Structures are given as structure tokens and as C-alpha cells.
């Protein structure tokens, strides 16, 4: 599987190293040549020097063959632009890093629904630790081929949860409405713009992706 990173951040390098250990093909695009020169002896992957938001640079990676492209530069704006360019070139899945949560809804509006907000995620995690809560990693809870999938409900999905057309092994577990957590059961009502969180299997995930695009799938 070919994975491409735009921006050689510490997050990108740590993720790339794990992917390389799993025998995936990794390409890192970095605009700073001194960063590439420093990293090349440390990580055995392909480096491309250039601006990852430029179509000419992305075309060197054969975009249609990329399984996942991570946009992990320090600039939210650069990550959003690079994500849009990558989508236009046929990249199957694009993950966009943003630091400012206000950009999240903009990303959704642009069709960039696979977003990560590391600072906000880490802040919530640390706040829970400080409050004495026992935090379990998802990897410790989910076994086998279980995945989470998020998508934003449209008007066509509005109505009772039990009327939502889902694959056999998929269930809605909760939602976010106006950024507020909302537990759901089979009789709960879905409203347009609700962000629904589903638990599913790897096989059903492909069906979900076919129905709702990339959504925000998570292992």
C-alpha cells in the first residue's frame, strides 16, 4: 500500500516509521531541503523536495495509486489546499491536519471530511487524565476488523435511526449535534447536519464508503 505524507513533521515521521515496519511504501514530500537531508539517513523511504500543494509535485507520486495521503504541514491553509489539489488529481483518500477547530466545518463543506485536530484531541485526553478518568485507547477495546465511521447527515438521512439504511453489521452508536454529544437509540431522531458515529466491520466499511464517500473512517 502506498502512503504519501506532505510535510515531514514529527507526527508524519512517527507514522511513516510504523507504516514502513508494516512493509508499506512511504513517500514524504517536504519543502525544506535541510529537513530532508537530516532525515534521509534515519528513515528508509522516498523523499520528494518541493511544495506538496503544487500539482506538478503530487503528479510525481502517481496520485491514483496512492491509498492514503496525509497533509501534515504546520499550516492549516496549506494542508487544506494540498488536500483539494490531491482530490482533484484522483487520490483515493486524503487526511487533512488542522490546528484551528474553526476550519473543521470549512473542511466538511469542501468535502474534506477526513480531518484530524491533534491539539484538540490531546487536550481532551489530558483533561480526562487530570480529572482522574480511566481512559481506554480504542485499540484496547476494538478487536479484529472493527472500525468506526463518521459522516454528516443530510436531509435524506433525517428521521428515526432505525430507518437509516445501514449494512447488516453496522450500528449508529452516538452523534454530535451542534458540537454536543448525543447518545442515540433506535427510536432517536436524526437531524440534518448531525455528525453520526457508526461502529462497523471492515467489510461493511466498504459499503459505507460507497454510500457516504470517505466519511471519517477510523481504525
CB atoms within 10 A of CB 4: 27
Distant-in-sequence, close-in-space partners of 93: CB < 8 Å, separation ≥ 6: 67, 68, 69, 114, 214
CB atoms within 10 A of CB 166: 18
For the segment(s) 2-122, the CATH number from 3.40.50.720, 3.10.20.440, 3.40.640.10, 1.20.120.530 is: 3.40.50.720
Q: What is the pLDDT of residues 9-58, one digit of tens each?
A: 888 999 999 899 989 999 999 999 999 999 999 999 999 999 999 999 99
Q: What is the mean pLDDT of residues 115-127?
A: 75
Identify the residue with better confidence: 129 or 148.
148
Q: Which CATH class is domain 138-212?
A: alpha beta
Q: What is the mean pLDDT of residues 97-114?
A: 85
Angle CA 51–215–193, to nearest 5:
115
The label of the residue with cell 481512559 reads: 135
141: number of CA atoms within 13 Å, CB side?
A: 8
Q: Tell me, what's the pLDDT at 36?
A: 96
Q: What is the pLDDT of residues 207-216, one digit of tens each?
A: 888 888 755 4
Q: Which strands form 68-71's sheet, in the order they lie side by side?
A: 46-49, 25-30, 2-6, 68-71, 94-97, 115-116
Q: Using pLDDT thresholds of 50, 70 and 90, give the confidence band for residue 218.
A: very low
Please count the residues of the chain.
219
Phi, psi of 46 (to 5 degrees): -85, 130
Angle CA 126–109–214, to nearest 5:
75
State the first-to-last Cα distance of the chain, in angstroms, to the nearest integer.
16
Q: What is the mean pLDDT of residues 152-162?
A: 90
Identify the residue with better confidence: 148 or 52.
52
Q: Does 2-122 match 138-212 in CATH topology? A: no
The label of the residue with cell 452516538 reads: 174
The dihedral formed by the CA atoms of 17, 23, 25 and 28, expressed in degrees to the nearest 10 = 0
Least reliable range by pLDDT among 28-37, 76-85, 106-115, 134-143 = 134-143
Tell me the domain boundaries of the chain: 2-122, 138-212
Query: In whole angstroms, what is the distance from residue 102 CA to residue 180 CA?
Result: 15
Please return the burial class of 95, using the count of CB atoms within 10 Å of its CB with bins 0-12, 13-18 and 19+: buried
Amino acid at each position: 500500500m502506498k502512503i504519501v505524507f506532505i510535510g515531514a513533521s514529527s507526527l508524519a515521521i512517527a507514522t511513516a516509521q510504523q507504516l514502513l515496519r508494516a512493509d508499506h511504501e512511504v513517500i514524504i514530500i517536504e519543502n525544506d531541503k535541510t529537513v530532508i537531508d537530516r532525515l534521509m539517513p534515519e528513515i528508509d523511504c522516498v523523499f520528494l523536495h518541493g511544495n506538496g500543494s503544487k500539482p506538478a509535485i503530487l503528479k510525481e507520486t502517481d496520485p491514483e495509486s496512492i491509498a492514503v495521503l496525509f497533509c501534515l504541514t504546520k499550516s492549516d491553509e496549506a494542508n487544506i489546499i494540498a488536500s483539494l489539489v490531491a482530490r482533484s488529481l484522483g487520490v483515493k483518500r486524503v487526511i487533512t491536519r488542522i490546528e484551528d477547530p474553526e476550519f473543521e466545518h470549512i473542511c466538511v463543506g469542501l468535502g474534506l471530511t477526513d480531518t484530524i485536530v491533534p491539539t484538540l484531541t490531546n487536550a481532551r485526553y489530558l483533561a480526562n487524565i487530570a480529572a482522574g478518568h480511566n481512559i481506554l485507547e480504542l485499540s484496547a477495546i476494538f478487536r479484529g476488523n472493527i472500525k468506526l465511521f463518521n459522516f454528516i447527515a443530510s436531509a435524506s438521512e433525517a428521521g428515526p435511526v432505525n430507518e437509516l439504511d445501514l449494512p447488516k453489521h453496522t450500528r449508529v452508536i452516538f452523534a454530535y449535534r451542534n458540537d454536543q454529544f448525543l447518545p442515540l437509540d433506535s427510536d432517536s431522531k436524526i437531524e440534518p447536519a448531525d455528525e453520526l458515529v457508526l461502529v462497523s466491520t471492515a467489510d461493511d466499511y466498504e459499503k459505507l464508503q460507497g454510500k457516504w464517500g470517505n466519511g471519517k473512517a477510523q481504525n
